[in-house]
Structure 1
Amino acid sequence: MMLLVTSLLLTPVSQAARTDNQDQSELTRWVKTTIEQEIADYAQRQRWPDYEANIEINVPSAVTHLPACPTSFYISAADQQSLPVGYLRRQVECQTGDQPWKLNITVQVSLRLPVIVATTPIRRDTKLTATMVKTQTLTLSRAEAFATRPEQVLGQRTLRRVRSGQIISPLQLQPLWMVEEGESVMIIASKNGMAASMQGEALQNGVKGEQISVRNISSGKVIQAIVVERGKVETIF
């Protein structure tokens, strides 16, 4: 695992060398260090396993015409991309000296790490089971959501068809059903501070907070109720 170094969106970086003009190679090294820190910080939050990062920095040659920053310069994000993979934009700024300056640079990041992929074609609205997915080490070069642990996807349902070998994206999954069609549920009915419970049958799938149709077993009446937890719905008269 790469060493974690906490990074900030606006990171001060000391400049060791003192020349008349800004040194391009030195700036490139500092930018790479900042991106490495950003990736390590994100990896810890997401609990990634071991990974390898390849970082390519593109600093415009025009930087050599800028005056050397006498004290420090700052590196900040110039895009709205939270996942530090793929094409990134950063801005370097020198805020001191007689001629403060700003410079836009680009960064290309690719990651190699274990991710969750489909072992077989999976149809839309299918509940994922352990036999449908596996962990495979791949190289990622685009900012696409992925999962690194089976528990991040198991039990959830697909929103679209998934090809065999395709990376399972959490954004393409529906939250885990708290109530499933055809199963028995407890209906909680409340009115004026009083509550009663009865057995029912879910006629639709539902996530927490969603309204679904439920049949009252004793009366046979179909009512609308809100999913409140696993196997339990609530209706207000």
Structure 2
Amino acid sequence: MFGKTNDRAHRGLSAGFLTALGLLMAAFLAPGGAVAAPAGQSIEAIEQTVRDFLRAQGEKEPGEWDIRVHRLDRRLRLHACRTPLEAFAPHGRVELSGRTTVGVRCNDTKRWKLYVPVSIDRFMEVVVTRHPLSSGQRISAADLTMARKNTARLPYGYYERIEPVVGQAVRQPLAAGDVVRPATLAEPTLVQRGQELILVADTGSVQVSMSGVALENGARGERIRVRNTRSGRTVEGTVLDSHRVNVGTVSAPMAGR
């Protein structure tokens, strides 16, 4: 009789303990429970902050943008920021083309900061060739046209306008539709070896001119060797145009030799 009573008491205690444990777990797991785990920072909000930041930067530049924020690890646990998230350029500025990184920080009492990788495609009109161009050919406006390209895939540069390209020479052959890059162009040769030239020099108060002969080819801005026809002296000068070379400052007697 005594042992039977203890067995009932034991079963009653076990049932009560399990019931209490179940209630405690339900309270802990309940969304609105007083002991529910605190919510962390929304990953989606971080990613949207990055997109908004980049779109605002892109409004200052021409072109159309395709912004892809690399997916952050959903297991990331950050304090839920009670102030607006702030995006920033880690190195002072963000490259709005290709792969880059944007920083995001929380400025409330529990501060945190992280860096979000991003890929950006920028589509805009750039200068391309209308038809094949051969090496050494001088470019005219009729040789060029505009085409929409993804500049993220043009790491070696491009031109946004035709005007700066016109008049330059082709450094290497180009096919029809090729993007015109700075490296594919060269200033055209304006002065040919053996050509008669005007040598321009400053004497300090006036500019004097002398006749000369080019000893080598030269493009605008290049330094070449020239010979003063009257004195026979060889000097270096900078090509100004197709018939003038600036030989710098000389003394008045030297200019007249």
Question: Compared with structure 1, are the counterparts of its residues 125 and 94 closer, same or farther at alpha carbon in structure 2 (3 Å cutoff)?
Answer: farther
Question: Compared with structure 1, are the counterparts of its residues 58 and 161 closer, same or farther at alpha carbon in structure 2 (3 Å cutoff)?
Answer: same
TM-score, reference length from structure 2: 0.65
Moved more, 24-33 or 226-235: 226-235
Question: Compared with structure 1, are the counterparts of its residues 78 and 163 closer, same or farther at alpha carbon in structure 2 (3 Å cutoff)?
Answer: farther
Query: Is contact 1:206–1:212 with CA below 8 Å preserved after alignment?
Result: no
RMSD, matched Cα: 3.3
Letter in 2 for 1:181: V
User: 1:65-100 CA distances to partner (integer Å, 9 max, x unpaired)?
Assistant: 1112222333233469865112222222224322x2
Query: Is contact 1:74–1:92 with CA below 8 Å preserved after alignment?
Result: yes
Does residue 68 (structure 1) correspond to residue 80 (structure 2)? The answer is yes
Letter in 2 for 1:75: A
* Unmatched tracts of structure 2, length 5 or more: 1-37, 251-257
Name 2:49's counterpart in structure 1.
30
Distance 1:212 1:77 in 2: 46
Question: Compared with structure 1, are the counterparts of its residues 72 and 154 closer, same or farther at alpha carbon in structure 2 (3 Å cutoff)?
Answer: same
Query: Is contact 1:84–1:143 with CA below 8 Å preserved after alignment?
Result: no
Name whichever structure is richer in helix by fraction. Answer: 2
Name 2:104's counterpart in structure 1.
92
Query: Is contact 2:49–2:85 with CA below 8 Å preserved after alignment?
Result: no
Query: Is contact 1:24–1:59 with CA below 8 Å preserved after alignment?
Result: no
Letter in 1 for 2:43: Q
Equivalent position SS for 1:41? coil
TM-score, reference length from structure 1: 0.70
Name 2:225's counterpart in structure 1.
213
Distance 1:166 1:79 in 2: 33
Does residue 163 (structure 1) correspond to residue 175 (structure 2)? The answer is yes
* Unmatched tracts of structure 1, length 5 or more: 1-18, 44-50
Does residue 181 (structure 1) correspond to residue 209 (structure 2)? The answer is no
Question: Compared with structure 1, are the counterparts of its residues 91 and 125 closer, same or farther at alpha carbon in structure 2 (3 Å cutoff)?
Answer: farther
Q: Which fold has the larger relative contact order, with Cα–Cα distance below 8 Å and residues 6 or more apart in sequence?
A: 1
Name 2:133's counterpart in structure 1.
122
Name 1:10's counterpart in structure 2.
none
Question: Compared with structure 1, are the counterparts of its residues 110 and 192 closer, same or farther at alpha carbon in structure 2 (3 Å cutoff)?
Answer: closer
Query: Is contact 1:23–1:64 with CA below 8 Å preserved after alignment?
Result: no
Query: Is contact 2:190–2:241 with CA below 8 Å preserved after alignment?
Result: no
Question: Compared with structure 1, are the counterparts of its residues 82 and 106 closer, same or farther at alpha carbon in structure 2 (3 Å cutoff)?
Answer: closer
User: 1:161-219 CA distances to partner (integer Å, 9 max, x unpaired)?
Assistant: 43321111235433x45x712376531134465642124455422333x3113354666
Query: Deviation of residue 29 (structure 1)?
Result: 2.0
Question: Compared with structure 1, are the counterparts of its residues 83 and 64 closer, same or farther at alpha carbon in structure 2 (3 Å cutoff)?
Answer: closer
Does residue 52 (structure 1) correspond to residue 64 (structure 2)? The answer is yes
Determine what percentage of the aligned residue pairs are the same residue. Answer: 21
Name 2:147's counterpart in structure 1.
136
Name 2:217's counterpart in structure 1.
204
Letter in 1 for 2:120: V
| 1:75-114 equivalences in 2 (<5 Å) | 75-78=87-90, 83-98=95-110, 100-114=111-125
Distance 2:49 2:93 in 1: 20
Larger Rg: 2
Distance 1:71 1:23 in 2: 13
Query: Deviation of residue 148 (structure 1)?
Result: 2.1
Question: Compared with structure 1, are the counterparts of its residues 192 and 55 closer, same or farther at alpha carbon in structure 2 (3 Å cutoff)?
Answer: closer
